Amino acid sequence: MHQIWPPQRAGELDDEGLERLYTYPSGRWLCVNFVASADGAMVLDGRARGLSNDPDRRVLKLGSDLADVLLVGATTAMVEEFRGVHPDAETAARRERHGLAPIPPTAVVTSGRSLPEDAPVITEAAVPTFVITSEAAPARTREAWAAAGARVVVAGEREPDLRRAVDTLAEHGLERIDCEGGAQLFGALLAAGLVDELRLTVSPLLVAGDAGRIAAGPHIEPARLELLSVVAESDTLLTRYRVLPRVAP
């Protein structure tokens, strides 16, 4: 991989250099990962994996390997067939080197309607999955998630309260959060002012069609970004942006 930005550090990146670039800061940090085509599509044939390639998968793996917890929307978890993290030898060694728990749990956000009681992200996870929901989710459904092995977090009345959810994860020592979609969750996190960093891969594809954008939901005051790094490999651009705090008028 070749680093383009910052220019004073431009040049070839070895595995160690790439890992340093994608290591989380200390303390609370919420990072959102997305891949999009060059014309802005977030899915191909209904899935993000259709846009992904080897460079994207490499940095996506770094994001989860170095995080305390993965955060994902329920629909994305089902469509992309999330099963939680099952570490290979490289992941295990990396996490041990950084003093992290052997396996990061997954936290799934759902209103209650989009996450089946036997979802693979619950039943096939190597460590218990957090299910973040609201009081509006039927009690029977919450009980079924718990019976399947999930840790159910009720945050909010009608919809999941993401700020309360992030606070709850932090209380469990899970401060460095790697969010892997989807668009509605990203939009809600932006509206709540919870996103610290966007990691966006620009896939070298043009797909047209009617695929949505990486963030969806309510209108927000535009969030300004600061470019942190740009890496290129195989016609793919891998960018990192700091989401700047909003300034009150």
What is the tens place of the pLDDT at every residue in 73-89?
Answer: 999 999 989 999 999 99
Average pLDDT of the chain to the nearest whole number: 94
Backbone angle region of 11, left / alpha / beta, with phi > 0 → left and psi within -120 to 50 → alpha:
left
240/1 Cα distance (integer angstroms): 15
User: Who contacts 123 (Cβ-Cβ below 8 Å, separation ≥6)?
Assistant: 148, 149
As beta bridge partners, residue 198 has 32, 241
pLDDT at 249 over 60: no
158/153 Cα distance (integer angstroms): 14
**One-letter amino acid of 1:** M
> Quick check: bond before 222 cis, omega within 30?
no
119/227 Cα distance (integer angstroms): 37
Task: Give the per-residue pLDDT at 46.
Answer: 83
Structure tokens at 94: 């990396």
Let me know the angle formed at the C-alpha of 104 by 102 and 110, rounded to the nearest 5 degrees.
160
Task: Give the per-residue pLDDT at 248.
Answer: 57
Phi, psi of 203 (to 5 degrees): -80, 140
138/115 Cα distance (integer angstroms): 12
Residue ranges of the alpha helices (H) in the chain?
15-21, 54-65, 74-79, 89-97, 120-123, 139-147, 162-171, 183-191
Find the mean pLDDT for residues 58-65: 96
Find the mean pLDDT for residues 107-129: 94
Strands (E), the chain: 2-5, 11-12, 29-37, 69-73, 106-109, 130-133, 151-154, 176-179, 197-203, 225-233, 236-243
Give, for 127, the enclosing helix (H) or strand (E). Answer: none
- pTM: predicted TM-score of the whole model, two decimal places: 0.93
- Rounded (10°) CA dihedral 229, 108, 76, 68: 30
Task: Give the per-residue pLDDT at 21.
Answer: 94
Fold of 26-242: Dihydrofolate Reductase, subunit A (3.40.430)
Tens of pLDDT, residue by residue over 190-237, are 999 999 999 999 999 999 988 889 999 888 889 999 999 999 999 999
Structure tokens at 81: 């067939």
